[in-house]
Amino acid sequence: MTITAAADGSALGNPGPAGWAWYVNDECWAAGGWKHATNNQGELKAVLELFRATAHLDEDLHILCDSQYVINSVTKWMPGWKKKGWKKGDGKPVLNLDLLKEIDEAITGRRYRFEWVKGHVGHVLNEAADVRARAVAEAYQRGIAIPAGPGWTGDDAGATLAAEPDSSVKRASDRDPEPEAEDIDAPDDTLFGDALFSLDEVTDWTSLTLNVTTEEHARLVRRARERGVSVEEFLRGLI
């Protein structure tokens, strides 16, 4: 049998007030966050807390995640990073090291697999996790109580357990580690979609002028507000 859960993170401003959440159903979910963190940190923390919440169970864990950075970090890049003393291919320290080390410890002996789902397209479990992660970020932004959720209640409240839909899919924990070709920190792909870079690592800038109509500008402003970022940050994520 398999536990299916979504894990997601949210950061207003990226970095800024941030939240994380994992979600099985309306009676079985948890969330938390920080006053100041990045979206990638929220994504990692959500996965970490999901592993911790289910550590007492002997069930396969099917994790729905819209962050390719998180999936690749856990299933592809960590073995290479560890061999190099948690350094990337260019010798620089791996970002979010504390969270990655905690995840590395939490997944030991676990049976799990990740499934990438595209964010913000109406996927029920992903949207539920996203709403809760964003609610935490907004709570920190507004200085109100944090919606932490009931936590793991699956043992007595009927968390969703389902037969594995495709037994031919290898679990992430079973996959052979890939060579060191991809041991870089990926972009923050849940905030802006398949962005080409992360604002966390930008050190120099090039100016770009964009001419848009009044209607197009209004649409950009609306979409940026929906994501909790400035128009400039939203546009950078689309490049």
Condensed to tens digits (0 to 9), the pLDDT of residues 163-175 reads 333 333 334 434 3
Encode pLDDT of 90-131 as tens digits: 999 999 999 999 999 999 999 999 999 999 889 999 999 999
Q: Is the pLDDT of residue 57 over 90?
A: yes
In degrees and rounded to multiples of 5, residue 125 shows phi and psi of -70, -40
Query: Active-site residue numbers?
Result: 8-9, 43, 66, 120, 130
Per the CB < 8 A criterion, the answer to whether 132 and 19 are in contact is yes
Strand ranges inside the chain, DSSP E: 2-11, 16-25, 28-37, 60-65, 112-116, 161-162
Q: What is the pLDDT of residue 229?
A: 57
- Lowest pLDDT segment from 73-77, 224-228, 234-238: 224-228
Show the tokens assigned to 28. 């079985």
The band of 180, judged by pLDDT with boundaries at 50, 70 and 90, is very low
Q: At the top level of CATH, which class does the domain 2-192 belong to? A: alpha beta
How far is the CA of 142 from the CAs of 10, 30, 135, in angstroms? 15, 20, 10
208 vs 28, which has greater pLDDT? Answer: 28
What is residue 116's three-state secondary structure?
strand
CA 132 to chain centre: 13
Domain ranges across the chain:
2-192, 204-238
